[in-house]
Amino acid sequence: MASTTLKDRAGKSIPHDKIETLGKNLRGEMIQPSGAAYEDARHIWNALIDKKPGLIVKCSGAADVVEAVNFARENDLILAVRGGGHNVGGRAICDDGLVVDLSEMRGVHVDPNTRTVRVQGGATLGDVDRETHLFGLAVPLGVISKTGVGGLTLGGGVGWLVRKYGPTCDNVLEMEVIQADGTVKTANSEENPDLYWALCGGGGNFGIVTSFLYQAYPISQVLGGLIVYPRSAAGKVLRGYREFMASAPEDLTVYAGLICTPDGTPATAIIPCWSGADLKKGEMLIEPLMSLDVPMMVAVQPMPFPAMQSILDDAFPSGTRNYWKSAFVKGLPDKAIDVIEEQAKGMTSPLSGLLVEYYGGAGGRKDAHQNAFAQRQSDFCIGFMPQWKDPAEDQAQIAWAQSAWQAIQPFASDGYLLNYLSAGEEEAIQAAFGPNLQRLRELKARYDPKNFFSLNQNIRPAA
């Protein structure tokens, strides 16, 4: 029997006839390394990750996912799960094993009467926004339309509506999930409630979610955009931002960033989003953010919510190399701002950014045990996000993120945002689950005792 590039965990090739049998049982596309579509199918958003799976299954629905899961389990394959968007850690792809690709499963159905939205696991934020906006509704998701709902939701999910409605995982009502044994389960507050609890912030450890049911809210128009200051004003602007957020209403989410303008000029950006019903009130509240220093540009205006959701898309293009580090800093003291300002001087790529985000609000009023998402503290999240194109810069760019992260540690809590973790950060992954880690390990032992779903922000099953 001729060998194939699909190998089991011991490195043994899977026979062709087994692969052909799988293909006959699928409705979706099966892509092998010899196929014309393979190169495009194996590449992901983060070009720093370059892996070559032995087989990619582009699923058409839950039945295909079940077939692929059973095949992987029965043949002892490494299994990766790819949703609809991007993941900085590159956990959506693997070498030699099988990739379950959900990117063709992008259906979105809105029920305007119940204000709920049923979304397939391969959809992106843009897919959801397009459909919900027709009914004047929005789901609390992220800030980049190309992000996949699956990874975002399972890891927690923070975005423009986080202060008003909490993280995404607090707004998912139900999930359809394929287990390691190939069974299909419904998880909600009444049916399989432990599994539901774990899926809401526990990452991809407990199965493959093929559909989500979200709560939506009456949001159509928002007031948002960009306020850009010189980089030399970064310290002053960040201090003003910190003081402003201390009393900002929860209808207003504001992020800050030390970035470069499209022409490469170092700058300091303030990015507000007012989701309250009274846009005039929003204008009045946002106005102080326009005078923290002398702005280079002010572009804040009413816009459809989907436009706000895509305002940062161009800053995170596909095919660049990315490595992220993050930390929560309580209160953002002056000395921490000094460190941020100093470390930003080390960014050598105009695509890179150093972000400061504040999530305090609705999510923080819930207990850390509400669900698996434990990071509910009202701290500022600092993201060190180098982005570059030349592979020759890999070592230097990664070293900057690591050294900048180390410099902020005297002011950092022990919390981490799960979706901001790059590959290889195992200690941070465990810390991101906070006080929920032990319960998650016990549930992992119950639902996935052999750690079949291991290519994720992995939780080791309890002994």
Could you write out the three-class secondary structure of 377-400?
A: CCCEEEEEECEECCHHHHHHHHHH
Q: What's the CATH code of the domain at 27?
A: 3.30.43.10
1 pLDDT tier (thresholds 50, 70, 90): very low
* pLDDT of 85 above 90: no
The region that residue 3 occupies, defined by phi over 0 for left and psi between -120 and 50 for alpha, beta otherwise, is: beta
Check residue 87 and give its pLDDT: 83
Query: Cα angle at 404 between 399 and 406, to 5 degrees?
Result: 95
Residues 114, 96 within the same domain = no
2 pLDDT tier (thresholds 50, 70, 90): very low
Average pLDDT of span 113-141: 98
Q: How confident is the model over 162-188, as pLDDT tens digits?
A: 999 999 999 999 999 999 999 999 999
Residues 238, 357 within the same domain = yes
Q: How confident is the model over 187-200, as pLDDT tens digits?
A: 999 999 999 999 99
Average pLDDT of span 42-55: 96
Residues 275, 407 within the same domain = yes
Do 284 and 245 touch, CB atoms closer than 8 A?
no
377 pLDDT tier (thresholds 50, 70, 90): confident
- Does some domain include residue 435? no
Average pLDDT of span 354-363: 95
Average pLDDT of span 354-362: 96
* pLDDT of 3 above 70: no
Residues 278, 185 within the same domain = no
Average pLDDT of span 209-218: 98
pTM for the whole thing? 0.96
Name the burial class of residue 350, with classes exposed (0-12), middle (13-18) and buried (19+) by CB atoms within 10 angstroms of its CB: middle
* pLDDT of 414 above 90: no
Supply the range of the domain harboring residue 150. 108-218
Residues 365, 417 within the same domain = yes
- Does some domain include residue 38? yes
Average pLDDT of span 395-422: 95
Q: What's the CATH code of the domain at 417?
A: 3.40.462.20
Residues 186, 264 within the same domain = no
Strand 55-58 with 98-101, pairing: parallel
- Does some domain include residue 3? no
Check residue 140 and give its pLDDT: 98
Q: Please tell me the total count of domains within the chain.
A: 3
- Does some domain include residue 316? yes
- Does some domain include residue 160? yes
Q: End of a domain among 85, 101, 117?
A: 101
